[in-house]
Amino acid sequence: MGKLNDKVAIITGGSGGIGEAAAKRYLEEGAKVVLVDLDGEALATVAARLGDDVAVYAGDITTPEANAAMVALATERFGGVDIFLANAGIEGTVAPLTTQSVEVFDRVMAVNVRGVWLGLQAVFPAMAKRGGGSVIITSSVAGIGGTAGLSPYVTSKHAVIGMMRCAALEGAADRIRVNTVNPSPVETRMMRSLEDGMMPGDGQAAHATIAAGIPLGEYAQPADIANMMCFLASDEARFMTGGVYMVDGGISAK
């Protein structure tokens, strides 16, 4: 018996490294999965690797319409929603606060914060109909500390922790659990972008510098993050809500 048998999960940011790794773990544990992303072509590629128990929705999660549509697809295809992994996120640009553009700030906040908030609004009624559920929001080590040059991203990842705490209190009456997972740097496209922004033309040096600051001495793999996301989605975590769960190689211990 899988930990997620008969459960239906929606995963935003489904074509990214963490999104695909989480989908793979959920499927291994018996769930059905709806992958959501803005990039429909990338979604189709990921879905083809994952198999038949996957549906895809290409849309902009910063709009109410897209969030309603992903819940409708999960309901029509698989019968409802039990798990919502609010994983979509963008990094913005690396620049001092005084030179960050308003457009970058607004886009980061729209995807990383507004998109999560709209997702919660859409999935809560569907989960209540199923007798409860689990929401996992992807935050970051940037959600508990600062990083020079990344003020829009860091602000957004702090914001979703506050949102999670409100949602956990509001969802408790319907047995809807809400938590964040806060990864360290992970071997994904996002970190390649940030490395290049930190040390233009020498991303490998940035990688080495960042890895040296992690007590375990390396970046996480997407599967490391997906394992925590799978646990929080399962009934093994039935009494866990309102929590911030670090998967960070020891960064938060410093």
What are the catalytic residues?
153
Are the C-beta atoms of 87 and 19 separated by less than 8 Å? yes
Amino acid residing at 86 = A
Q: Is 97 helix (H, G, I), strand (E, B) or coil?
A: helix
Distance CA 158, CA 188 (A): 21
Q: What does the block give as tokens for 144?
A: 């508990």
Are the C-beta atoms of 40 and 58 separated by less than 8 Å? yes
Are the C-beta atoms of 221 and 174 separated by less than 8 Å? no
For residue 244, the cross-strand partners are 180
C-alpha separations of 184 from 20, 98, 213 in Å: 18, 26, 11
> Tokens 């940035």 identify what position?
206
Closest-CA residue to 36 (of 28, 187, 22, 25): 22
